[in-house]
């Protein structure tokens, strides 16, 4: 089955959609606190057409902590969170996005992949439904694990202002 992902920055929602435009899944998410933008070091969520370039974390436990796309061996807990205040937690699974539009979200100072833009899990203590991330698309851990199993590498991801 051919599917694609649509992310609405305004609605703070991620929808998995099939080839007949039927919504298969609909998740509340959190995108960048700094809003939409494509520039390197902007901490904004890049818009436009992307694809899932890599899937990281298959078969890791829910709550597994990643640094530099590698599991640390830790499982997130409130206590761990309190030991590392202010850390940008990347948990459970990573869907690493690559831009498809040269000069807009691919290559040079606007390259989403070089900016390490992911769809990933986040602690349950983090808010959803409002912009709060450093540029990535944050999801609840059990939801990102579900999405990870449903989509193959090369799945199209459209990040829209609406």
pLDDT, tens only, 77-110 = 999 999 998 899 999 999 999 999 999 999 999 9
Confidence check: pLDDT of 1 > 90: no
Can you give the pLDDT at residue 162? 87
pTM of structure: 0.96
Give the pLDDT of residue 3: 97
Question: Model confidence over 115-156: pLDDT tens digits?
Answer: 999 999 999 999 999 999 999 999 999 999 999 999 999 999
Give the pLDDT of residue 11: 98
Q: What is the DSSP letter of 114?
A: T
Distances (CA, A) of 126 to 10, 73, 77, 86: 18, 21, 13, 12
Cβ(158)–Cβ(4) below 8 Å: yes
- Nearest CA to 53 out of 93, 106, 109, 113 is that of 113
């Amino acid at each position: 089955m051919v599917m694609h992902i649509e992310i609405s920055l305004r609605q703070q929602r991620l929808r998995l959609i099939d080839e007949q435009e039927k919504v298969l899944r609909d998740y509340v998410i959190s995108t960048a606190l700094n809003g939409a933008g494509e520039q390197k070091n902007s901490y904004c969520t890049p818009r436009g057409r992307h694809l899932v370039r890599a899937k990281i974390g298959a078969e890791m436990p829910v709550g597994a902590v990643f640094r530099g796309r590698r599991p640390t061996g830790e499982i997130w807990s409130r206590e761990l969170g309190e030991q590392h205040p202010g850390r940008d937690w990347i948990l459970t699974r990573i869907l690493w996005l690559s831009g498809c539009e040269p000069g807009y979200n691919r290559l040079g100072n606007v390259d989403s992949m070089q900016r390490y833009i992911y769809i990933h899990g986040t602690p349950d203590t983090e808010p959803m439904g409002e912009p709060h991330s450093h540029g990535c698309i944050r999801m609840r851990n059990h939801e990102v694990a579900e999405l990870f199993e449903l989509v193959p590498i090369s799945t199209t991801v459209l990040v829209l202002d609406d």
